[in-house]
Amino acid sequence: MLLADDAPLRRIRRAWVTWGLILACILVFALQCVSDAPFHALALHPADLLRAPGDPEVQMRLLGYMLLHGGILHLLGNLLALSVFGDNVEDAFGHLRFALLYGASGVVAAFTQAVAEPDPRVVLVGASGAIAGVMAAYLLLFPRAKLYVLAFARLPVLVPAGWFVGAWFALNLLNALSREAGEVAHWAHVGGFLAGILLTLLARPPGVPLFQPAFASPTPPWPWFRRVAFDFAPEVARRDGPAGSAMEARDSRLAAIGKAVAFLVLTLLSAWF
């Protein structure tokens, strides 16, 4: 279970769009708890995007479906991911570009689901596709940021964002290709993620670099978590001289391979159990 990251905000004081989206999803879910009207008004049948893409009602649902959720766990999982990844991507992109990234990723996610599963009985709800695009942007911008994760909901670990997001995408792609998705729209996740990759490469603000180094947060979140967690990518002391650099590079590669395999095993086990 994802809990937090260690990346501070550097360009903006508040991630207004991220928290506005979180608040909007909470308010709509509260309405869903007392009435079926929001679901009937905003739920999207992806097949309608192929049948009548110009229909104003379909276009309204294409945006509105991102505010709906299928249950409290669906809502909390999405909002937790958005709170962790969204603020830093909004910090890098700016408020307007971030809002466009989020919305465009959600739109591409819906069309991807429509093409992959054009069954008119399928209903699409949730912000997962849009958040997948945000996660893709985070992957390209901050792959070395540390994420606070509870493996098996009880084992505290610190992992690089690149490992976590990469494993998440790999699992979604495998589930989408296996066609055993159940009620999860894995193709929407895949489509939103790929849209986020493309938009980050092409539309990020000038001067925002890719693959930024790990942050040195002045106030790391949850210091107690760092004390008890297993760190999959700890900082190591550097060795002097050419021989030391070669040994350091070799040790770093071996450690990275071993830890990546261990984290992938943990991820697969947590998905199965």
pLDDT in tens, 118-168: 999 999 999 999 999 999 999 999 999 988 887 766 677 888 899 999 999
pTM assigned to the model: 0.83
Q: From CA 171, how far away is CA 181, in angstroms rounded?
A: 11
Question: Position 126: which residue type?
Answer: G
Domain ranges within the chain, ordered by starting residue = 2-233, 236-273
pLDDT tens, position by position, 225-272: 555 555 666 664 444 555 555 555 555 555 555 555 555 555 554 544
Of the candidates 32, 68, 28, 63, which has an alpha carbon nearest to the alpha carbon of residue 49? 63
Instruction: Give the alpha-carbon dihedral of 124, 125, 126, 130, to 10 degrees.
Output: 40
Query: Which of the following CATH numbers is that of domain 2-233: 1.20.1540.10, 3.40.50.300, 1.20.1250.20, 3.40.630.10?
Result: 1.20.1540.10
Count of Cβ atoms closer than 10 Å to residue 187 Cβ: 26
Per the DSSP assignment, residues forming a β-bridge with 75 are: none
DSSP category for residue 263? H
Write phi, then psi, for 40 (nearest 5 degrees): -65, -30
Sheet of strand 2-5, all strands in order from the earlier edge strand to the far edge = 2-5, 146-151, 155-160, 230-231
For residue 83 the two structure tokens come to 């709170």
